[in-house]
Amino acid sequence: MNKKIEKVSGTIAALATARGAAGIAVTRVSGPNAAEIYRKITNKEPEHMRARHTVFYGDGETRIDSGIALFFKGPDSYTGEDVFELSSHGSPAIIDVLLERLFMLGSRQAEPGEFTKRAYLNDKMDLTQAEAVVDLIESVSARTAAAATRSLVGEFSEKVNDISKAITELRTLVEAMLDFSDQDLEETKHPDELIHKTKEAKKSLEKLIEQTRTGIRLRGGMVMAIVGEPNVGKSSLFNRICGNERAIVSSEAGTTRDIISENITIDGFPLKLLDTAGLRNSQNQIEKEGVKRAIEAGESADIVLEVVDAREWDQNKKINKSMLALNKSDLLIKKQKIDSNKVFLISAKTGEGIDNLLDHIAGLFMDDDSCDSSITARKRHLKSIKEAHEAFCSAERGINEGHAMDLVAQELLEAQNSLAEVTGEFTTEDLLEEVFKSFCIGK
């Protein structure tokens, strides 16, 4: 079932490395004219996977630069087409002349992500792998990079395909039942096997939803807002976690008026940390605006950490936020006993309890058992997998309640089609445009 909807044409060229003065720069060319262009620019015959030190010739044998030319004969290349890469000196002026020459010889400027899109269209990778290319390039922490690498080598697709295979098996069982008359049914339908396999597949789908959620958090990070009344130590905690003096710490209430944010990693997980204005009634217009923004930040954050002064903590008060930090533990005469996994006794001043708090925050990124198998994922994956789950649950109800088997078969097929959207086996033009527009030129 290959539902890829378009083929791209022409030979494309683009700078594959970042623009700017650098030791070397790599320019990439892909398409049906690649071999011919290679001959003209190097005066040499292309050979698969052979790196050559050569002159890059301009019009009339002028020399543009010299460097390494590396040719790949399709389909054994990144895009599946004939490809070559020129490693030249990394001068923007040389790159401009080189690209101009490549265009003159029969190529055009590549669109964003067009190399990877061609790789996808030529079945060199599926859509989740193509997306993982961007995840890997953009990863800001080692953990995200490791997860993106897993998606890139196909571990995410494998999880999706395994469930799809299980659903194919179920469809075979269900369709076999359609071929028998009522009295044969009891002996042939193997209801136990069907019910058991349905349960297993549903469990796998639910696990995949959790893994996808983790993958989204790993890729995009989470936002954590620190909120609380003035003077409880929010800015001090913010600075302690960030390891710098970004936020102003003052014993005067109401010093943080705007939201201060910092991108950090905690145990390799990307986190955007927000320090917000102290929540209190104020007549000061600027402070009022700060409080309004603090409330909004609290509403939109993934994690809300409320800070209170440990000396004023009321154990009986309900915890409305994700976590509660009882700060200034160093000022307590007697330490309270805490029996909630959402409450942390800390001191932003001495650092007491901070590691424990950070461990807990890092734990919020992962589901229980995906530590070494996490992948990177996107919201669109989650949407499709949830749709697959919904259709699958209808099919399961149908099996358990003895609905018409043709309806069950149809629902199983719907579940499978939703899964096929994740890997791009089943796509629309809009989806492809959406996916590849986030790429840069040259990728």
Q: Which residue is nearest to ligand GDP (CB)?
A: 233
Largest CA distance in the chain: 87
Task: Give Cα separations from 369 to 162, 213, 214, 268, 427 (angstroms).
Answer: 18, 13, 11, 17, 31
Q: Enumerate binding residues for ligand GDP (CB under 6 A).
A: 228, 230-236, 249-251, 255-256, 278, 327-328, 330-331, 347-349
Q: Would you say 6 or 330 has its CB closer to ligand GDP?
A: 330
Nearer of residues 67 and 228 to ligand GDP, judged by Cβ: 228
Minimum distance from residue 330 beta carbon to ligand GDP (Å): 5
In the bound state with ligand GDP, the residue whose beta carbon lies nearer, of 171 and 234, is 234
Cα(422)–Cα(258) distance, rounded to whole angstroms?
40
Which residue, 83 or 326, has its beta carbon nearer to ligand GDP? 326
Buried b (16+ CB within 10 A) or exposed e, 227-246: bbebbbbbbbbbbbbbeeee
Distance CA 158, CA 204 (A): 12
Q: Quote the least distance from Cβ 378 to ligand GDP, whole Å.
A: 35
> Which of 60, 62, 65 is closest to 96 using CA atoms?
65
Smallest distance, ligand GDP to C-beta of residue 148, A: 36
As measured in angstroms, the least distance from the Cβ of 251 to ligand GDP is: 4
Closer residue to ligand GDP (CB): 202 or 234: 234
Is residue 41 within 8 Å of 86, Cβ to Cβ? yes
Q: How far is the CB of 324 from ligand GDP (least distance, A)?
A: 14
Assign residue 243 a region: left if phi > 0, alpha if psi is -120 to 50, beta otherwise? left
Q: Which is nearer to ligand GDP, 360 or 403 (CB)?
A: 360
Which strands form 63-72's sheet, in the order they lie side by side?
51-57, 63-72, 83-90, 22-30, 12-15, 108-109
User: What minimum distance in Å lies between the beta carbon of 287 and ligand GDP?
Assistant: 12
In 225-366, where does DSSP find H-type helix? 234-242, 285-300, 354-363
